[in-house]
Amino acid sequence: MKKIIITGIILLLFLGYAPYQELNDLAVVDFMALDFKDNKYKLYLNIINMDNTLYELEGDSLGEVFFKAKNVNNKKTYYNHLSVTLFSTSILKDKELLTFLKDEFTNIDYVTIGTKDNIEDILDKFHQSSEYESFITKEKEDLGSIINVTFKDLLSDRMDDIKTPLIPLITIKDDVLHSNGGYLFSKDTYLDNNISKASYLISNKITSYSQKVEIDDKYYEVFLSNLKTIINYKDNNLKITIKGDINSPDTDNLEKIKEIVISDLKNDVNSFILVELDKYKSFSNIINYIYLKEKDKPFDKYKDAKKEIVIDLKKKEKSNYD
């Protein structure tokens, strides 16, 4: 009896046999780029464990191009370590893209960026995820004009009734990557760097950045840190308060610098509000704030509200160079 039970258990085990995949039989994709050009989908895959080779595949549909990419160089493509994807703005208009990618990959935590440029020009120079990751980190800390937007963020924004996904854009100039604002692909609307930055600030997605200020034909570097945005909405009054520290190596002109920075910031936030209201789609957390409190025609309230922008920057005691 015992033997029968043991044999039965072993047989059961074999019935559920799942084909395994050895590590060395996998082509690990760390970076992927997608483009739609001349009615063809183009997929670019960087295989990290094959000397960072960039593979290019073409197909009439997303399904076809990914099917072709199932095996690369006799190795099964493995997307679970995918960390950066670059989309051309042309493919972002494809409404099925997000759904397709959501279904295709179990890993949805990869950073997504877009570009208006010819994607091949960028890929000629940069096709490793680490290059993009270090660029985003540096640009975020220095200018605050780009943030890490993951595919998961895009999906959750899309699921939200009143939010629209904002994808950061990049461009290449003189073989160097630069941030290029943002793209509301569901509205086909481009935002410039300043409006994107205002959006990130209001969403508390950036807490520090630096900028150059021009006074009497001279440029001064200024650092803003510990930034925090507080939104209040009461009795049809919308108050956006941005608090933080300001610091510049040129302490003599700090007051003047501060004035300019505050004025720039106010302009940026105003522009951002105008775009948001114009498109009637939220890409910040203001509308969510109102929506969650009021739950009734939030854009009407947002539009009609009396808006007050308060920028409260304090001089930082310690220099950024310390």
Partner 1 sequence: MLSEEIKNAFGNATDLIVRPFIIDNREITLVMSEVMGSSSYVNDFILKKLLDLKFTKEDIIDELLNNIPTNNGKILTTLEEITDYICMGFALILYDNKAIAIEARSTLDRGIGEVSNESTIMGSKDAFNENFNTNVGLIRRRLRTNELYVDGLFVGKSSKTKIGILYMHNIATLKNVNDIKERLKNINVDGIIDSGYLKTYLDTKTNLLFPTITSTERPDLASQALLEGKIVIVTDNSPNVLITPTFFVDYLHTPDDYYGKAINTSFVRIVRFIAFLTAIFIPALYIALTTHNQDILPLPIFLNFASQRESVPFSALIEALFMSISFEILRESDIRKPAALGSSVSILGGLILGDAAVNAGIISPIMIIVISISAISGLAFSSMEMIGALRWWRFIMMILAMFYGLFGIFVGFIILLASLVTTSSLHVPYLAPFSPFIKNEIKDTLIKGESKKIRKRNPLLTKNIIREVKK
The two structure tokens encoding residue 62:
């997303």
Q: What is the DSSP string of 164-214?
A: ---EEEEEEETTEEEEEEEEETTTTEEE-HHHHHHHHHHTT----EEEEEE
Residue 106 interacting with partner 1 (CB under 8 A): yes
* 78 versus 185: smaller Cβ distance to partner 1: 78
20 binds partner 1 (CB under 8 A): yes
The distance of Cα 13 from the centroid of its chain, to the nearest Å, equals 45
Quick one: which of 29, 30, 34, 193 contacts partner 1 (CB under 8 A)? 30
Contact between 139 and partner 1 per CB under 8 A? no
Q: N- to C-terminal Cα distance for the chain?
A: 78
Window of 80-88, 115-123, 249-257, 307-315 that interacts with partner 1 by CB under 8 A: 80-88
The sheet that has 209-215: what strands, in order across it? Answer: 209-215, 218-234, 237-247, 306-315
CB of 115 to partner 1, least distance (A): 24
Taking alpha carbons only, the member of 107, 113, 108, 147 closest to residue 129 is 113
By CB under 8 A, residue 18 contacts partner 1: yes
Crossing angle of helices 286-294 and 254-279, in 10° steps, is 60
As measured in angstroms, the least distance from the Cβ of 50 to partner 1 is 10
Query: Rounded distance, CA 233 to CA 146, Å?
Result: 28
Stretch that binds partner 1, among 75-83, 132-140, 147-155, 205-213 (CB under 8 A): 75-83
Stretch that binds partner 1, among 13-21, 93-101, 178-186, 301-309 (CB under 8 A): 13-21
Q: Which stretch binds partner 1 (CB under 8 A): 14-22, 180-188, 254-262, 280-288?
A: 14-22
How is 43-109 classified by DSSP, letter by letter?
EEEEETTTTTEEEEEEESSHHHHHHHTTEETTEEEE-TT--EEEEEHHHHT-TTHHHHHHHH-S---
Position among 53, 58, 59, 81 found at the interface with partner 1 (CB under 8 A): 81
**Binding status of residue 279 toward partner 1 by CB under 8 A:** no
- Separation CA 80–CA 63 (nearest Å): 18
- 79 or 272: whose CB is closer to partner 1? 79
Cα–chain-centroid distance for residue 243?
24
Among the listed residues 1, 5, 11, 23, the single contact to partner 1 using CB under 8 A: 23
Measured from the CB atom, is 9 or 306 closer to partner 1? 9
String of contacts with partner 1 for each residue 237-276, x by CB under 8 A: ----------------------------------------
Q: Can you say how many angstroms the Cα of residue 200 is from the centroid of all Cα atoms in its chain? A: 10
Residue 139 φ/ψ, nearest 5 degrees: -65, -35
Nearest to partner 1 of 13, 236 (CB atom): 13
Which is closer to partner 1, CB of 21 or CB of 237? 21
**Segment contacting partner 1 (CB under 8 A): 24-32, 163-171, 187-195, 243-251?**
24-32
The residues that touch partner 1, with contacts defined as CB under 8 A, are 13-14, 16-18, 20-24, 26, 28, 30, 48-49, 78, 80-81, 83, 106-107
